[in-house]
Chain A
Amino acid sequence: MDAIVVDRLSYRYQAVGREILKNISFKVAPGEIVALVGLSGCGKSTLCMCLGGIIPHYLGGMLDGQVLINGKDTKEYRVARLALEVGLVFQDPDTQLFAPTVEDEIAFAPENLCLPVEEVATRVDNVLDTLGITSLRKTNPNHLSGGQKHLVAMGAVLALEPSILVLDELIAQLDPAGKRIINEILVDLRRRGKTILIVEHDPEAVSIADRMLVLEEGRLIKDGETATVLEWWESMLRHKYGCKSWTISGHAAGPE
């Protein structure tokens, strides 16, 4: 069974409004890392919302087509129930951190799963350790730097241990050290058969992906092996949008 199935998906916020997603279809197999790239406003984040069931459950609008997460139709399951299958790390950490300490933030999901206290504690310890943020355990997330907030947001979702992980513009915003940590985690998750969708507009952040999808103005315009599609997209950025090479990657490796 495919981990993610998107079948002829179209979406608009209002009945008469602009179509944000236009007839999108693709499948992701378990254990695959797929990158989804495109410029801001192309519908990447909207697609993420559809995968977690936030569309249609929280944001109304007109949804056509079907999204299946581990075989479950997102229209028929609550967001909290879908969260057991798919973990979403959103773009802006300030809208997803709400606990008074980093520890509480990470414990939140396993506590919701009604896991025994020892299991919650183990998960929290493990996540803090893998992300290298054990020293921040008792800190208020509000007092962290931008990069640290992103790591905590990632940790909070990792503690859920979902079989599918969706990262919305997480990697490009991290410093080189953070990028390295996240890449290691993703490679490890793939080895354990988890499915990962990386959503980015920075071509350099998606190098570990097995496959790459390109979205333009709500349409899926390319789907193929990473190296080929990346080259194709970069040349499109250069020629169609006049981008110079300095724009193609953001916080590239190198001294901070």
Chain B
Amino acid sequence: MAYIDIENVSFCYPGQSRFVLRDINLRIYKEGVTAVTGANGSGKTTFSKLLIGLLKPVKGRIQLNGKLLSSLTLAQIGRQIGYVFQNPDKQLFCETVEEEIAFGVRNLGLPPERVTQKVREVMDYFELSRYAQAYPLSLSAGEKRRLALAAVFALEPGLLLLDEPTTGLDPYRKQLLGDYLDKLVAANRGVVVISHDQKFIDRYATRLLRLEDGQFIEE
């Protein structure tokens, strides 16, 4: 069964006549890496916002795991789709790096010792342990992106949605991200990546969607 089922979805911003997305029919599965590419301003980020319910389609409907997206709260959607913003600064709001990762994990209903353990695991993996007590916004650009990725990965959602995840990452951190993507795919989780990093797409995409004139072209 499709994880996300998009039927006849069209979207335009209020007060504008131009449709950013037109009559989109698409199924996204909980497997492999789906890459979404397209020129600047083609509506890639708009598409990602529709998928997590931040924007509502003007026409058509989106279902997540068989449930209508519009009937779910953001909290419910966040447990099923992990979203990393294009600008990670906006999704960092805690006092310390450790706190930032723990924030979401605590909402999972795990016993406290399991929470601590999980936070430590994630920090180790993303090599953030040395910054555990640092203030998130004082980190370097690459580190902030890593932290935003880590905080969302920690929730173990079925599908991850990453908007331009390789921007600002150096070769070594890109490799770390790539390794984790491999792990996720092996653990039967789906990943949707919005990117125009050609080498990254060539290496990881199992499915390639190109957004052109408001519609997807499958490649």
Contact = CB atoms under 8 A, between A and B. Distances in A.
Direct A–B contact in the complex, CB atoms closer than 8 angstroms: yes
B169 interface: yes
Interface of B: 37-41, 86-87, 140-143, 166-175, 178, 196-200, 202-203
DSSP majority for the A interface? loop
A246 B202 contact: yes
B92 to A, nearest CB: 14
Interface stretch (A48-56, A132-140, A218-226, A236-244): A236-244
Given A40-B140, A40-B141, A241 B198 contact: no
B167 A173 contact: yes
B198 A243 contact: no
Interface stretch (A75-83, A123-131, A247-255): A247-255
Contact of B197 (A145, A148, A243, A251): A251
B194 to A, nearest CB: 12
Contacts of B198: 251-255
Contacts of B203: 244, 246
A91 interface: yes
Contact of B175 (A148, A169, A242, A252): A242
Contacts, number: 88
B216 to A, nearest CB: 16
A54 to B, nearest CB: 15
A250 B175 contact: no
B171 A39 contact: yes
A206 to B, nearest CB: 13
Given A202-B171, A244-B175, A244-B203, 14 more contacts: A40-B142, A41-B140, A94-B87, A146-B167, A147-B40, A169-B141, A242-B175, A246-B178, A246-B200, A247-B178, A250-B167, A250-B200, A252-B199, A255-B198
Nearest to A253: B198
A246 B140 contact: no
Nearest to B39: A256
Contacts of A92: 141
Contacts of B170: 39-40, 201-202
A250 B172 contact: no
Contacts of A248: 171, 199
A45 interface: yes
Contacts of A148: 40
B140 A45 contact: yes
Given A250-B197, A251-B198, A237 B172 contact: yes
Interface string A130-168: 000000000000000111100000000000000000000
A175 interface: yes
B171 A201 contact: yes
Contacts of A242: 175
